[in-house]
Amino acid sequence: MAAAVRLLPALLLSLLSCFPATGFPRRDVLELGDADFDYLATEHETMLVTFYAPWCGHCKKLAPDFEKAATKLKGSVQLAKVDCTAHSETCGRFGISGYPTLKIFRNGRDSAPYDGPRTADGIYQSMKKQTGPDSFLLKSTDELHSFVQHYDASIIGVFSGAGGSARGEFLKAAALLRDQFRFAHTADVALGDEYGVQSDSVLLFRPPRLSSKFEDSVVVFRDHLTVASLRRFIRDHLYGLCPHMTLENKERLRVRDLLTAFYDLDYHHNTRGSNYWRNRVLKVASQYTGRGLTFSVANKKDFLSELEEDFGLGTSDGGELPFVTIRSKLGHKFTMREEFTRDGRSLERFLDDYFAGRLKRYVKSEPVPERNAAAVKVVVAETFDDIVNDPEKNVLIQFYSPTCPHCKKLEPVYRELADTIFSDKNIVIAKMNAVENDVPLGFDVHGYPTIYFAALGKKDEPLRYEGGRELRDFLKFLKREASPSPAPSGSKEEL
């Protein structure tokens, strides 16, 4: 009993050490401020800092994911936070102007902005890539072979000695692009002999899982090496004839016209099965090189919602066979309706029709209204060109969401506007449900309501309406922008 009493103070001290002065359990996110930022930040090789304000809604939304990521990254990357309402000196020093702002620090120095995902898993995956050196030093052929046997691509520089401008530019590129690609370098030029390269060369190893007989697995960069030229080289050669499109790289691939075959692809557990259909796409792709179309494959489970919403494809479409879409960089969409045949002939026919301009674009559209006699004309994607792009009409169109409270508040004013100028045959007041219909190019809609004016004779230059939302504001705008000016008179009740 006496021994237990003697141990009690030590036990209490141990428990109290788990709690800071505030009385809350210690967190894995380090709190930094003006007095200790420089001192504590230098203790960590890699640190991700969120600069926030307690009242910021986006900061509150980020906080639990940031905490979860901090716990998963504990021991490899330190996560920290700075309250800018209490520590304005530190936030001002790093140019913080919005919340939350996330920055990556290395040994206390501001290294780069964090532009990755803001979910717990996204932060974890992105910051794991930030651990270790920007570029690993390889000293033997075995180390090189081991480095390139990876799920992702590898970029390796071969340089003579420790100096040289080429090596310096390579390491600068590695520091800038390390969150996207894997870099390594060697000062032993003999390591390049196997690939036919000598000093000041760069080897790009495509992922081993994507190797095929249709293209080389290793591409050599031999031009004058700068950060910009190496970046272009990686961009142009990384993916090859038929890359694996993922949620992380889709935006980089979609800068070009892109064909994608979607199927039950799983490179983590079934590389051979995943490549069965990819090889058939590759065979066809090799016949259409140089025609401005990029080919890719993707796991349809990763893109189910997008396929359903953007292409009208159900989860069971295609069954075990791939189904194929084309999305142009201008946003035009096409789907292959014929079943994907193992000999690739159906894909060839689809491509021949695409390049010949025989395919009908897929447009997500509500049904065309049977009656459209109300003052506010209902527009769907199928009737957009007929109504909004009518060359003889000035059209004011509102893009809305049925659940948007601001849209509902605007509705009576918008109807009154349409009633007021109903008798003017030169002006159309219209609206389109932007949730259920594809919004055409040229109309940038990211919030609701968004209103545009497509003027007579200027249909290719729609003007975004930024004015007030009272009747007099709309009338003043139309009087200024419409030609001829509207003549408000008469009224018409909705039918």
For 365-424, what is each residue's pLDDT tens digit? 999 999 998 999 999 999 999 999 999 999 999 999 999 999 999 999 999 999 999 888
For residue range 258-275, what is the model confidence (pLDDT) as tens digits? 999 999 999 989 999 999
CATH entry 3.40.30.10 includes domain 250-355: yes
pLDDT at 492: 44
Q: Is the pLDDT of residue 6 over 70?
A: no
Residue labelled with tokens 């509207």: 486
Q: Where are the chain's structural domains?
A: 27-128, 136-237, 250-355, 376-481
Residue 20: pLDDT band (50, 70, 90) is: very low
Q: Any idea which residues carry the catalytic annotation? A: 56, 59, 404, 407
pLDDT at 318 over 90: no
Task: Tell me which CATH homologous superfamily contains domain 27-128.
Answer: Glutaredoxin (3.40.30.10)
CATH level 3 topology of 376-481:
Glutaredoxin (3.40.30)
Quickly count helices (H) and strands (E) in the chain. 15, 19
Q: What is the pLDDT of residue 7?
A: 44
Closest-CA residue to 102 (of 89, 172, 26, 119): 119
Tell me what the pLDDT averaged over the chain comes to: 87
pLDDT at 190 over 80: yes
pLDDT of amino acid 482: 86
Q: What local confidence, expressed as pLDDT, does residue 320 receive?
A: 78
Query: Which token pair is 72?
Result: 């998963």
Query: How do 46-52 and 101-106 pair as beta strands?
Result: antiparallel
Position 206 scores a pLDDT of 94
> What is the edge-to-edge ordering of all strands in the sheet holding 109-113?
29-32, 78-83, 46-52, 101-106, 109-113
Does residue 163 have a pLDDT over 70?
A: no
Q: Give yes or no for residue 113 having a pLDDT over 70.
A: yes
The whole-number average pLDDT for the span 170-180 is 87
- Comparing C-alpha atoms, which of 75, 29, 26, 76 is closest to residue 49? 29
pLDDT value of position 23: 33
- 15 confidence band (pLDDT: 50, 70, 90): very low
* CATH superfamily ID and name for 136-237: Glutaredoxin (3.40.30.10)
Q: What is the mean pLDDT of residues 241-267?
A: 91
Mean pLDDT confidence for 342-358 = 95
Mean pLDDT of 279-284: 95
pTM, to two decimals: 0.65
DSSP character for 268?
T
pLDDT band for position 102 (cuts 50, 70, 90):
very high
DSSP, collapsed to helix, strand or coil, labels residue 109 as strand
pLDDT above 80: residue 490: no
Whether the pLDDT of residue 4 is over 50: the answer is no
pLDDT recorded at residue 495: 34
What is the pLDDT, as a whole number, of residue 491? 45
Report pLDDT for 488. Answer: 61
Q: Which pLDDT score, from 0 to 100, does residue 319 have?
A: 63
Is the model's pLDDT at 465 over the cut of 60? yes
- Three-state DSSP class for 114? coil
> In this prediction, what percent of the chain has a pLDDT beyond 90?
63
**Beta-carbon-side half-sphere exposure of residue 314 (alpha carbons within 13 Å):** 4
